[in-house]
Copies of this chain bind each other. A is one copy, B any other.
Amino acid sequence: MPELRHDPIQRRWVIIATERARRPSDFSVSNPPSTSDKCPFCEGKEAYTPPEIYAVRDHGGPNEPGWKVRVIPNKFPALRIEGDLGRAGVGIYDKMNGIGAHEVVVESPQHVFDISDLPVDHIALILKTYKERINDLRKDPRFRYILVFRNHGLTAGASLSHPHSQLIATPVTPRIVAIELESARAHYTLKERCIFCDIIVQELQTRSRLVSADKDFLTFCPYASRFPFEMTIIPRYHSHDFAQEPDTQLDNLARHMKEVLLRMRKALNNPPYNLVFHTAPSYHLQSKRPGYWTTIEQDWHWHIEVLPRLTKQAGFEWGTGFYINPTPPEDAARFMRETEI
């Protein structure tokens, strides 16, 4: 059973994966298979993965060919689904069992290069799959937060090149998400306005950091971007929960995302990147801790972080949480805007 451990000084949780413990010799760098002939995520190789949790399919039964998007448990999960939380103190430290869910969303039966190679209506199917899985996992009262993320490229942490994304449900609210929730609530308490809506107004007026805007969605390079060419994708209208978006909006988001990801690929020559969805935390927390997040429908605004991985993090970044970004977001946004796709 993996363990969740809390650092009382840095106030963060760490997953200690006790079951797949690695010795020093296990850390040598190996390249993942780049060809599709041995890929367990390709159509027809369903037997090489754990049995599917969910699939969007044209024909065929579970774990047979015929699917378009397929959700499976991670073969090497960071957290385990079975068991209770077992919260305990260990002297000055805190721990709990590594309870959670870790799922893989195989985005396409074909071994294409990137999600942006897929047609808009297929990208929409993937987004609807996220929504479906988030809403299902939220029924489990042990989970506080469900994170959807996507690693593309070896240096961004993708160990298999077949296009896929992941969901991790955690029994604690992750530190960065908790900081964002607190900031948004503090702003709302002071002003009775959503801080993200305020930022959207400013970005639409300033325009210099805008990458793309349509009727419903907006992409901009954040004012204090940590990374070169970092982008935020966010609905223009106030909406606190990705998993409550109607399917028609996910169709629009798919169109917007495809354009933005194609711009990034073209501008940066197929960079490694991460996508991270920051949506609302699980609702049962509200009822269990009354008053804690009672304004979340007003104060939170879901968004997607797009993080190209072009720079290395060194001692300064790890030691301080400070970042040095060599590309001003205004330059990055202009370059993205001017890229022809």
Chain A residues within 8 Å of B, Cβ to Cβ = 3, 5-18, 20-24, 27, 78, 90-93, 145, 147, 149-151, 155-158, 166, 168, 170, 174-177, 179-180, 183-184, 187, 195-196, 198-199, 202, 206, 222-226, 228-229, 267-269, 271, 274-278, 305, 307, 310-329, 331, 335
Contacts and interface: CB of A to CB of B under 8 A. Distances in A.
A157 B315 contact: yes
A205 B187 CA distance: 45
A13 B92 contact: no
Contacts of A156: 312, 314-315
A13 B328 contact: no
A92 B180 contact: no
Copies of this chain assembled into the complex: 2
B274 A176 contact: no
Residue in A149, A276, A320, A328 with the greatest tally of chain B CB atoms within 10 Å = A320
A281 to B, nearest CB: 12
Contact of A157 (B8, B224, B268, B314): B314
A320 B271 CA distance: 22
Chain A interface SS verdict (over half): mixed
B7 A223 contact: yes
Given A24-B267, A314-B156, A320 B151 contact: no
Contacts of A274: 314-315, 318-319
Contact of A166 (B7, B267, B316): B316
6 tightest A-B CB contacts, nearest first: A157-B314, A276-B319, A174-B320, A149-B315, A274-B315, A176-B321
Nearest to A319: B276
A37 B206 CA distance: 50
Given A195-B92, A224-B5, A315-B275, A326 B20 contact: yes
Contacts of A10: 176, 179-180, 183, 224
A195 B324 CA distance: 31
Contacts of A93: 202, 223-224
A151 B314 contact: yes
A27 B307 contact: no
Contacts of A314: 149, 151, 156-158, 274
A22 B268 CA distance: 12
Nearest to A180: B9
